[in-house]
Amino acid sequence: MSDRVWLMKSEPDVFSFTDLQTCGRTWWDGVRNYMARNYMMKDMKVGDWVLFYHSNAEPSGVAGLAIVTSAARPDESSFDKKSEYYDAKSTRENPRWQCVEVGFLNSLPRLVSLAEIKGNKRLAKMILLQNSRLSVQPVLPAEAREILRMAGVTGVEIGAHP
DNA sequence: GCCAACGTTGGC
DNA sequence: GCCAACGTTGGC
């Protein structure tokens, strides 16, 4: 059982947590940042929990709980000339970008806004607050527990199945 | 819509 | 390999 937690950002106008709830699972394609890619390729494992974060939103914040459903594989959108994420330097023989698949795990009683996160001393070291540009990032179990508590979640152990 | 922060690109 | 220019992210 995994007790590792990640935070992944998505603009809700593009793909929201409700969209994930509707479709069940999705490949996290379109990430074009090496640090974010490396976390997906090297560190994310099936069963890891994901805090689904709404960026560029009103309000921005942690909107729901997701889970890694498949380890990284080449990002198909990087091969697709019609995709806005197409990258001519990424080939099937030598894929430059990879992504994991993420599935819906649970809704939260309420969203935890960025303002609330900033206001909580226990969350001061979160990467979210140090580097606002990283869209895939690890979260410490204690930080994840705190955010779930703020969201009104009780009695849930990280990594436990819902 | 503005713009600070940061990552990437490309000339040298 | 440096670094200026440029593009993007994302909060406000």
The nt closest to A87 (CA vs C1′) is: B8
Per-residue model confidence (pLDDT) at position A1 = 61
How far the first Cα of chain A sits from its last, in Å, is: 13
**CATH number belonging to domain A5-150:** 3.10.590.10
Strand B nucleotides within 7 Å of a protein CB:
5-8
Instruction: Establish whether the CB of A131 is closer than 7 Å to any nucleic acid atom in strand B.
Output: yes
Instruction: For CA atoms A13, A16, A19, A25, give the dihedral sign.
Output: positive
Per-residue model confidence (pLDDT) at position A102 = 98
CB A94 within 8 A of CB A118: no
Instruction: For CA atoms A119, A153, A9, A22, give the dihedral sign.
Output: negative
- Å separating the CA of residue A90 from the C1' of nucleotide B7: 19
Residue boundaries of the structural domains of chain A:
5-150
What residues of chain A score a pLDDT lower than 50?
none
Q: A74 by DSSP, 3-state: which?
A: strand
> CB count, 10 Å around CB of A80?
13
